[in-house]
Structure 1
Amino acid sequence: METTASLFKSVSRRVWSPLQRPFRVCSWNRDVKKGVTAGTLEELKEKAAQALLISTVLTLVCEEDGTEVDSEEFFLALPDNTVFMALTPEETWKPHPLRQRGGNTPGESTPRTGKDIAQITFDLYRTHPKDVFGSLNVKATFQGLYSVSADFQCLGPKKVLREALRVMSTLLHAAGHLLISSAAVIRRIIHGADLLQAQHGKPIEYWE
Structure 2
Amino acid sequence: MTKRCGWVGAEDIYRDYHDYEWGVPEYDSRALWEKLILDGFQAGLSWITILKKREGFRQAFEGFDPNIIAMWGAEDVARLVQDTRIIRHRGKIEATIGNARAWQAIEAEEGFAKWVWSYVGGAPIQSRFATAADVPTSTEISLKLSKDLKKRGFKFCGPTIVYAFMEAVGMVNDHVLTCSAHDRTAAMAVDAPDWSKI
Q: TM-score, normalised by structure 2?
A: 0.26
Q: Which has the higher contact order (CA 8 A, sep 6+)?
A: 2
Higher strand share: 1
Q: TM-score, normalised by structure 1?
A: 0.25
